[in-house]
Amino acid sequence: MTFQRARTDEQRSQRRRHILDTAAAMLTEMPVAELSLNKLSRRVCLAKANVLRYFESREAVLLELLDTETRSWLDELREEHAASEGAARARGDRLADLLATSMARRPVLCDLLSAQGAVLEQNISTETGIRHKQAARQSLRDLVRIVLRHLPELGPDGAAALAESTLLTAMAAWQCSRPSQAMLAVYASGPELAAMRLDFTDLVRRTTAVTAAGLLARRTEQSGAAPAS
């Protein structure tokens, strides 16, 4: 295939979008660790050098994809009705379930999040890192607003703590809940070891619910109000 340089801003934008869409499709077939620049280049029918005209590295592609996937997830959460009835503890449990199940439906997002610090934030320029962190900062602010819709009792600081804790839990839980073939055989060897296998949704749900309950209790103690049951 003969490479044709994109000459207009619209053409360059379309080619970047094509590269990102292709990378997203590939991540439904393979984990982040297996998606190489060579594989991506072949899939988009461009030489690796030509892909690098639009993104400085594989990691830069995946970081932008992470930002896109995060925004899409937050858009979904915004559409969810925030129940105002019920005690704060019950609403916290419902929020924990919403966050856990919505993330579990987005394996590409979870895989990218789990690789963020150790993989995606390596081999990038300062400029790319700044753009990513600015996007991540805005996404965190949006998630805090979503948490406050469900649990206004937490206040901004408590909502930020819950949002950060949920994201960090999801990063670790995704890796731990994706066992190798050898570990799958270990878990299949008997019920005692099978019970040690972690379930991503359950772990994120339980940890988020417990964190929300603890933050609510601390907020109540600080305000001197009656405990929220």
- For the stretch 149-207, pLDDT in tens is 999 999 999 999 999 999 999 999 999 998 889 999 999 999 999 999 999 999 999 99
pLDDT band at 36 (very low <50, low <70, confident <90, very high): very high
- Alpha-carbon distance of 60 to 40, in angstroms, equals 13
- Alpha-carbon distance of 165 to 157, in angstroms, equals 12
- 38 within a domain of the structure (yes/no): no
pLDDT reported for residue 169? 96
- Alpha-carbon distance of 134 to 101, in angstroms, equals 26
CB hemisphere CA count around 208 (13 angstroms): 32
- 108 within a domain of the structure (yes/no): yes
Residue 106: closest CA among 59, 66, 159: 66
CATH number of the domain residue 170 falls in: 1.10.357.10
- 18 within a domain of the structure (yes/no): no
Q: Calculate helix-pair angle for 126-150, 155-176, nearest 10 degrees.
A: 110
- 158 within a domain of the structure (yes/no): yes
Range of the domain at 216: 56-223
- 184 within a domain of the structure (yes/no): yes
pLDDT band at 3 (very low <50, low <70, confident <90, very high): very low
Per-residue pLDDT tens for 115-134? 998 999 999 999 999 999 99
- 22 within a domain of the structure (yes/no): no
- 117 within a domain of the structure (yes/no): yes
pLDDT band at 223 (very low <50, low <70, confident <90, very high): confident
- 201 within a domain of the structure (yes/no): yes
Chain centre to alpha carbon of residue 175 = 12
Q: What is the count of structural domains for the chain?
A: 1
pLDDT band at 1 (very low <50, low <70, confident <90, very high): very low
Q: Which two tokens stand for residue 223?
A: 């305000």
